[in-house]
């Protein structure tokens, strides 16, 4: 259910094609254990697709877009960024909304923009990042969640991971109840993705419990629940290593991050 991200400002081709090895001698993929997708910047989509293909992996490639993380580029540029990422092989697009539209109450304009994002995605899944730490109130979080779903989002996501305040439980509860309300009204199940500040396996268990309590077991699958994180995978690997061997891995076996 994790979308490991490679969204550092210094991301470059060799880091995608030759990532630092983890867990040598232990490959969980043949046992059906994989990440849900790999998330990269638009310019790195081709590199990620090529690297995964060379490794014999069918893990989807997700791309951030629409001027991530600020969303402060012209609409035409944001739409073109989506189209180029899809052309390069991204099957999931993580867009970020223009927070100004929320803060100034321009709800129809927000709906129209997300509808255009949806159209530009084509067959690719649309995950809409609300950047909840910058929306001003929980009421705005609820309204933005509903509008994003009404406009065709497949997922709604808490944060870019770059804000001062990222995924929090109060915000998550508001978003999850919006998802539940939308499901009751339309019959459509929309996915949820918290991102930012989720660093350990214990953190992820708390989020899994929240999803189970608020939405039920049906949402506990990659099609409806993801965790966006850049360092979580390393801790999960270390916990699995400890479970299998009875000891924690040395740094040269499994780096901390």
Q: What residues are labeled active site? A: 157, 193
Nearest CA to 45 out of 94, 96, 92, 90 is that of: 90
Contacts 24+ apart (CB under 8 A), 183-188: 188/149
C-alpha–C-alpha distance, residues 224 and 190, integer Å: 6
* Residue 93: strand, helix, or coil: strand
CA distances from 145 to 110, 138, 148, 183, 219 (A): 11, 10, 5, 13, 17
Q: Which residue's structure tokens are 């803060």?
A: 103
C-alpha–C-alpha distance, residues 238 and 236, integer Å: 5
């Amino acid at each position: 259910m994790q979308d490991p991200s490679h969204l550092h400002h210094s991301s470059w081709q060799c880091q995608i094609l030759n990532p630092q090895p983890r867990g040598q001698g232990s490959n969980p993929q043949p046992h059906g254990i994989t990440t849900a997708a790999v998330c990269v910047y638009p310019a790195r989509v081709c590199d990620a697709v090529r690297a995964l293909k060379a490794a014999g992996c069918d893990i989807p490639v997700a791309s951030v877009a629409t001027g991530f993380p600020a969303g402060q580029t012209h609409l035409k540029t944001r739409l073109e960024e989506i189209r180029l990422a899809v052309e390069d092989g991204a099957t999931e697009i993580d867009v970020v909304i223009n927070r100004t539209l929320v803060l100034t109450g321009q709800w129809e304009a927000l709906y129209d923009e997300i509808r255009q994002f949806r159209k530009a995605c084509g067959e690719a899944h649309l995950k809409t990042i609300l950047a909840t730490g910058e929306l001003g109130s929980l009421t705005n979080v609820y309204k933005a969640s509903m509008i994003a779903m009404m406009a065709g989002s497949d997922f709604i996501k808490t944060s870019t991971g770059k804000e001062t305040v990222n995924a929090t439980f109060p915000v998550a509860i508001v978003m999850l109840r919006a998802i539940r309300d939308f499901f009751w009204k339309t019959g459509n199940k929309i996915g949820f993705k918290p991102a930012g500040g989720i660093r350990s396996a214990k953190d992820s268990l708390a989020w899994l419990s929240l999803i189970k309590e608020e939405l039920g077991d049906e949402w506990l699958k990659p099609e409806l629940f993801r965790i966006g994180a850049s360092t979580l995978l390393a801790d999960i690997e270390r916990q699995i290593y400890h479970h299998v061997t009875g000891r924690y891995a040395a740094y040269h076996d499994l780096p901390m991050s």
